Amino acid sequence: MNQPIFYLRTELPNIKLKKMLSLMTEWQTGFIFQAPSNNTIRLAYGALAERYFTKNEDQFDALRSWQSDLKAQLATPSSTSEGQPALVGSFAFNPTSEKSNVFWGKLAQGYFFLPKYTVIKSGNSTALITCSFDAATLEEESKLFAQKLQRMPSCSLTLAEHAPLVKNDTTLDQWAAAVAATTAKIQQHQLDKVVLARSLETNFNDVIEPLAVWRKLTLTQPQTYHILLKTAWGSFISATPERFAKFQEHRFQTAAVAGTIRRGQTRTEDDCLGTQLLKDHKNLQEQNYVLQTISNTLRKHGLTVRYSKHPQLLKNPNVQHLYTPIMANGSFELFKVLHDLHPTPALGGLPRKKALRQIEQVEPVTRGLFGSPLGYFQFDGTGELAVGIRSALLTGSSAHLFAGAGIVSESIPQQEVAETQLKFRPLLHVLGDQNEEHTDID
């Protein structure tokens, strides 16, 4: 018989983010989620319950079933979503992959957990949600955690000083050859589009502190998501600009993001590059594939879909993309919609099954969590997921960085290599700089 799960929401005094991050260093399992231009940060500490997915398992249906079971165990019903705990974690890009997943470990097929403690900081407001199997100790557990959080020193999180950065890019030639082979198949009309990803391994003399990396990304990449999944198997970190889904009853939001060009050194050059991207046939074609596929998928689920006729620019410090927000309304079965959307052509390709076979055949390493939806699910059906790009897996003193490029009939290997190098920059910059900036973010 499953144990009842008791939960309690309490309001806390305004607490600095540095204290929250310092406390998370003491926990093996943790999660942080911050959306772009949003002053709300969700931090999760410890796993009361957890779910690793297995190979060939339908991960979306498995999470739906697990969430349903846990919801039935909740013994403290709440009428508002703000008072509820949430499942946090990440799906896998391709759980059926036959490639070696040595550095991903148990994360290779995805992982979600129900946090023991969740802190939600929004502006000057801070709330704590505590979960427990023991109703008698719930209030005391919540009180002790809150006291420890308030007493934590606001120590600076730093990356090890003078740690030389060593890059291992041994699969670059193999990846460039894969781009050429894939482009040839597209030109022969065997495929329409394929997104190919590659990995870059970096090594330090000292252990990398994931929370310091996350903190620096909030400063250097302010207009992106900032997400960290911290586990015994390693920490997956992402500064993705791309929303996968934000959802609530009768409302579903997503976005079509594709096409990439660098940022300019001056305002004039930046505007010229942006205009070039908005007129570039290859990039417009790539983005339109994504837009139409997502829209058609949502319509198949009975949703009414709205979006702008022309894409806009999504600007990040290193690159800019073509971007179209998508709004959908109507009744829908959440996990079925998510299943059918993943992966979008922005991370997989078209036709989907053929593109995924090509990815499996030619990519040098398994993607694991790269390109996967990650975020949180509340028990009332609300939540948000981002796409795990601009990301890295941090394990000890090593970091495996991931980046992808959309391959179409006009793709040139050298240009696609250059695009992935641009996408590596945000994390390489953070990992290469040894100390965090001292700007305080409360």
Note the pLDDT of residue 160: 55
Task: Look up the pTM and report it.
Answer: 0.93
Note the pLDDT of residue 282: 86
Residue with tokens 């929303």, as numbered in its chain = 243
Structure tokens at 80: 């508002």
**Mean pLDDT value of segment 214-243:** 95
162: in domain: no
CATH at 281: 3.60.120.10
441: in domain: no
Question: Do 222 and 318 form a contact (C-beta atoms < 8 A)?
Answer: no
Rounded Cα–Cα distance for residues 391 and 423 (Å): 9
Query: CA 376 → CA 102, 213, 215, 383, distances in Å?
Result: 26, 21, 20, 5
Single out the residue in 119, 151, 183 at which a domain terminates.
Answer: 151
Rounded Cα–Cα distance for residues 371 and 92 (Å): 8
Region of 398 (left: φ > 0; alpha: ψ -120 to 50; beta: rest) is: beta
Please check whether residues 171 and 147 belong to one and the same domain. Answer: no
Single out the residue in 120, 151, 182 at which a domain terminates.
Answer: 151
Query: What share of the chain in percent tops pLDDT 70?
Result: 93
Please check whether residues 322 and 266 belong to one and the same domain. Answer: yes
Please check whether residues 266 and 200 belong to one and the same domain. Answer: yes
> Using one digit for the tens of pLDDT, what is the confidence trace for 355-376?
999 999 999 889 999 999 999 9
Please check whether residues 223 and 144 belong to one and the same domain. Answer: no
Rounded Cα–Cα distance for residues 136 and 193 (Å): 57
Rounded Cα–Cα distance for residues 197 and 44 (Å): 29
Number of domains composing the chain: 2
* Set 18, 19, 116, 193: catalytic member: 193
Q: Is 398 in a helix, a strand, or coil?
A: strand
Please check whether residues 289 and 259 belong to one and the same domain. Answer: yes
**Does residue 165 register a pLDDT over 70?**
no
Cis (ω within 30 of 0) for the bond into 343? yes
Please check whether residues 397 and 371 belong to one and the same domain. Answer: yes
Please check whether residues 212 and 274 belong to one and the same domain. Answer: yes
242 is catalytic: yes
Please check whether residues 34 and 171 belong to one and the same domain. Answer: no
Please check whether residues 296 and 347 belong to one and the same domain. Answer: yes
**Does residue 327 register a pLDDT over 70?**
yes
Please check whether residues 127 and 184 belong to one and the same domain. Answer: no
Rounded Cα–Cα distance for residues 74 and 426 (Å): 41
439: in domain: no
> Using one digit for the tens of pLDDT, what is the confidence trace for 65-98?
999 999 999 987 555 556 789 999 999 999 888 8
Please check whether residues 391 and 246 belong to one and the same domain. Answer: yes
376: in domain: yes
Domain range for 20: 6-151
Q: Is 45 in a helix, a strand, or coil?
A: strand
Pairing of strands 304-307, 319-329: antiparallel
Note the pLDDT of residue 154: 74
1: in domain: no
Please check whether residues 305 and 421 belong to one and the same domain. Answer: yes
Residues 155-167 as b or e (16 or more Cβ within 10 Å = b): eebebeeebeeee
* Set 18, 209, 216, 242: catalytic member: 242
**Where are any strands of DSSP class E within 185-316?**
193-203, 226-231, 234-238, 243-248, 251-262, 304-307, 312-315
> Using one digit for the tens of pLDDT, what is the confidence trace for 235-247?
999 999 999 999 9
Question: Do 158 and 209 form a contact (C-beta atoms < 8 A)?
Answer: yes
**326 against 160, higher pLDDT:** 326
Single out the residue in 91, 124, 151 at which a domain terminates.
Answer: 151
Cis (ω within 30 of 0) for the bond into 351? yes
- Candidates 47, 64, 168; CA nearest to 114 is 47
**Does residue 272 register a pLDDT over 70?**
yes
440: in domain: no
118: in domain: yes
